[in-house]
Amino acid sequence: MKTTLEESAYNNLKFLQNKELFLSNKYSIQNQLFINKEGESFDTIYSFADLEYPIFFTFHQILNHVNTSYNNKFMSHSKQEVIHLLETALETLFEYNIQIDEKNEHFEQLLDDLDEKIFFIKQYYKYGICLGLPTFIKNMLNSTCSSFIEVSRTICSEYIQELKDPGYYDTKSDSEEETSDEDIPDLEEDDKKSN
């Protein structure tokens, strides 16, 4: 089964939560994915250029989802929980950058840029009524619109069913009338018995 970009980014984010594995280089990089090599003797040290694409992909894919998605959940996590996961992953990357003797100005700029973006989104989603209120209203409107869409789907499917089977409602109401007629006792018979 093919994984989506969001699933790939989420798997990378989960991997970056484990600071020990990342700092001890127990992983491999395949395209944009970090592959866990915990049980194997794997000691490849990747250059900053090798790390840049998977990190850029992971953070921007998730930040984009958190900031633009109508869905309040990302892989069963709330947006606030995802922001916390991003912060933890970024701390791991900062620690890795400090631990390595070789310094790379371009990689440091990437980390600083990610830090600013996470800070902005954190301020937007977690703090302040002026920032939180629009998000709350947006979430309420999204759920209302989703409800309207579901109702319209039901109405359209019944309309299409009526077009396919023109007597759809008549047969449905006839069957309901037949069952209801059987339930009502015949009043004329009751009158004859009483006389």
98-105 contacts at long range (C-beta below 8 A, 24 or more positions apart): 99/23, 102/48, 104/48
Q: Would you say residue 42 has pLDDT above 80?
A: no
Amino acid 89: pLDDT: 93
- Return the SS3 of 77: strand
Question: How does residue 130 score in pLDDT terms, banded at 50, 70 and 90?
Answer: low
Give the amino acid at 97. Answer: N
Q: In angstroms, what CA-CA distances link 43 with 27, 30, 33?
A: 8, 15, 17
The CA distance from 48 to 95, in Å, is: 14
Beta bridge partners of 73: 78
**Of 127 and 165, the one with more pLDDT:** 165
Amino acid 71: pLDDT: 73
